[in-house]
Amino acid sequence: MGTAEKVNSYKRIQPFVEILDSTLRDGEQTSGVSFLPHEKLMMARMLLHDLNVDRIEVASARVSEGEKEAVQMICRYAEKIDKLNRVEVLGFVDEGKSVDWIAECGCKTLNLLAKGSLKHCTQQLQKTPDEHIEDIRREVKYARSKGISVNLYLEDWSNGMKDSPSYVYHLMDQLCDSGIRRFMLPDTLGIMNPLQCIEFFRKMIKRYPDTHFDFHAHNDYDLAVSNSLAAVLSGAKGLHVTVNGLGERCGNAPLSSVQVILKDQFHAKTNINENKLNDISRLVESYSGIAVAPNQPIIGDNVFTQVAGVHADGDKKNNLYQNDLVPERFGRKREYALGKNSGKANIAKNLEELGLELTPEQTRRVTQRITELGDKKERVTVEDLPFIVSDVLKHDAPEDKVKLVSYIVSTAYGLKPGANIKIEINGQQYEASATGDGQYDAFVKSLRYIYKKYLDRTFPLLANYAVTIPPGGRTDALVQTVITWNDNGRLFRTRGLDADQTEAAIKATFKMLNIIEKEHNNEL
């Protein structure tokens, strides 16, 4: 059967594919990444409960006491929600030491690491194939006596199939009857291409048709996703992934990409809850400190943002520039970028989103101003749009309801920074002062005091704060401050631009205050 026929066959059959997430084990091998025990627990909870992955590989045995604590916490949680059988730990052929460690953690599944190539067996272990097989059988027997089920990794399997297939077959022949539940086939060095993956998997399936095979890809040639899909196309029943593609060297196959291609291109079934893919991505990004690229499919900041005006125009005309990857599917929404390439269609889309109605002439003037800002490389957001409209149309637009009348911020050696502010809200002036951990922190604490004491209202929480110099900037460049706010669970961003970092942050803050004040007044 040819590849095209195979794909069509899969569409008809709709196979089920198990997903093992190895973020907490293989993903932690990313350079510079080390998770704390409570961070591992938080990620495990989301992976098992919210995202509903089939299995999670959470650690390597005997690494550290911290790792042991993390595995124990995860296992206790998994047992409470009746998913302990989904928690797995990597262990080694070490005369039962890994098995004992895993048993002490309360885990019930060992992913045993064996050698899948003759070179690794003879040169790294310095053992004959039969000696290694005997060691594996002894390890499996001991684990099962402890009530622990065993899956077997054939490390460097891809090179084994390329250079020593007879060794791989001999290993399989001797171990198929040993009680191993799954054989897990890694492309350890990321050397395969999809055609090789199909060839090697078909040979394995043909020789061992009743065996459950997983595939574990690495991304050295940027082929981890392609190879994973080739493996499923050829009969693999499980795939190993990591959130955000974390992993050693170039990383592993990203969970989000594998999921959507399996579903949309192969019509395969998984248990993954797709509308939580963005949430788990953000959590792992936060704990790992490894930023997701803005153009990373599915989870990147920009992947549901249309920039060209022609695309926004097409979306108005029966969604001509949309595919099956609609943002709502992943708990997100489509955005239309504002800049020199926007055009009137993008502006109209954003105005519509904000509930603003402009005449054609007003829209033209706003578009012209946004184009001018784009030429200066300033970033324009949806939240900025009402203020651009106000600036351009002046007499047509209402004044800001929240205004900064005056302020002083100070810092001195040995003293906490302080702020004294006077602001105007709906024509009424208020004053306050406070100290904080920094000048801006003191400023915000003064604002919070005013909103609580005089208005008896909540003040959005600061969720994230980022400072950048626009591209091409010099030492005298403007500073751009981007603040993410959490207003009762709703996240939105405002930006301020100024030569002074504190002033830029204050401008971003007053943009936020005017947004929520307008909403508050509309509700009254």
Fill in the DSSP letter of residue 252: B
Amino acid letter, residue 267: H
pLDDT digits (tens, 9 = 90+) for 160-201: 999 999 999 999 999 999 999 999 999 999 999 999 999 999
Active site residue 25: yes
pLDDT at residue 2 tops 50: yes
Mean pLDDT within 519-523: 80
pLDDT digits (tens, 9 = 90+) for 209-226: 999 999 999 999 999 999
Distances 367 to 104, 336, 346, 389, 480 between C-alpha atoms, Å: 65, 13, 9, 10, 22
What's the pLDDT score for residue 272? 97
Q: How far apart (Å, rounded) are the C-alpha atoms in residues 197 and 203? A: 10
What angle, 0 to 180 degrees and rounded to 10, lies between the N-to-C axes of helices 224-233 and 194-207? 30
Helix (H) or strand (E) holding 448, with range, is helix 439-453
Mean pLDDT within 358-381: 70
Mean pLDDT lowest for which of 113-127, 373-387, 438-452? Answer: 373-387
Of the ranges 2-16, 148-162, 335-349, 363-377, which is most confident?
148-162
Is 312 or 25 the better-scoring residue by pLDDT? 25
Active site residue 144: no
Counting residues of the chain whose pLDDT is more than 70, the rounded percentage is 81
Q: How far apart (Å, rounded) are the C-alpha atoms in residues 438 and 426? A: 28
Q: What's the pTM?
A: 0.69
Band the pLDDT of 311: cuts 50, 70, 90. Answer: very low
pLDDT digits (tens, 9 = 90+) for 328-337: 788 776 665 5
The one catalytic residue among 28, 67, 88, 155: 155
Mean pLDDT in the chain?
Answer: 86
What's the pLDDT score for residue 418? 93
Band the pLDDT of 310: cuts 50, 70, 90. Answer: very low
Task: Identify the bridge partners of residue 51 per DSSP, sorted by sequence position.
Answer: none
Is 294 or 153 the better-scoring residue by pLDDT? 153
Band the pLDDT of 236: cuts 50, 70, 90. Answer: very high
Whose CA is closest to 443, among 465, 464, 423, 414?
423
Mean pLDDT within 434-439: 92
Mean pLDDT within 504-520: 89
Any long-range contacts for 422-425 (C-beta under 8 Å, 24+ apart)? 423/447, 423/450, 425/401, 425/450, 425/455, 425/517
Mean pLDDT lowest for which of 80-94, 256-270, 412-426, 474-488? Answer: 474-488
What's the pLDDT score for residue 326? 82
pLDDT at residue 358 tops 80: no
What's the pLDDT score for residue 138? 97
Which phi-psi region, left, alpha or beta, contains residue 427 (left: φ > 0; alpha: ψ -120 to 50)? left
What's the pLDDT score for residue 279? 93
The one catalytic residue among 25, 55, 182, 495: 25
pLDDT digits (tens, 9 = 90+) for 447-506: 999 999 999 998 899 988 988 765 444 433 457 788 999 988 888 888 776 657 888 899
Amino acid letter, residue 229: L
Band the pLDDT of 285: cuts 50, 70, 90. Answer: very high
Helix (H) or strand (E) holding 429, with range, is strand 428-435
Q: How far apart (Å, rounded) are the C-alpha atoms in residues 499 and 323? A: 42
Mean pLDDT within 281-301: 90
What's the pLDDT score for residue 475? 38
Amino acid letter, residue 483: I
